Structure 1
Amino acid sequence: MESSESDSMVLRILGLLAADIDEHPGRLKAVDSELLARINSLVGDVQIDLTEPLCRDDE
């Protein structure tokens, strides 16, 4: 996927997210420190390489 295609896709997703927030603002919830600690306990030490494909088929 080229950069312009990727940018376009990100903009579309952000647009959908913005529209959903506008239509349903009551659904927004803050991330509290307890949830953040739980997330960090599950994935905080996971090392990733952002240049690697997610699976072999993506190469």
Structure 2
Amino acid sequence: MLFSISGQSEKEADMPQPGSPASLQARHSMIDSRIKEEQGRPLPDASAIAALKKQKLHIKDALRTG
């Protein structure tokens, strides 16, 4: 494994930092996929969908303000 000067592997150094716009956008997309997956189930869990939508909204707000 190769390490950069900061002690991170090259792969870790290329990953978006938590809270960065790229990381938030990736989480937003992942949550959107989970919402669509849950909605596609024969008996979707409305409380799970509501919780995911709330998380997605918080991320959207963070992207807008950050």
Q: Normalization by structure 1: what TM-score?
A: 0.33
Question: Whose relative contact order is higher, 1 or 2, with alpha carbons under 8 Å and at least 6 apart?
Answer: 2
- TM-score normalized with structure 2 length: 0.30
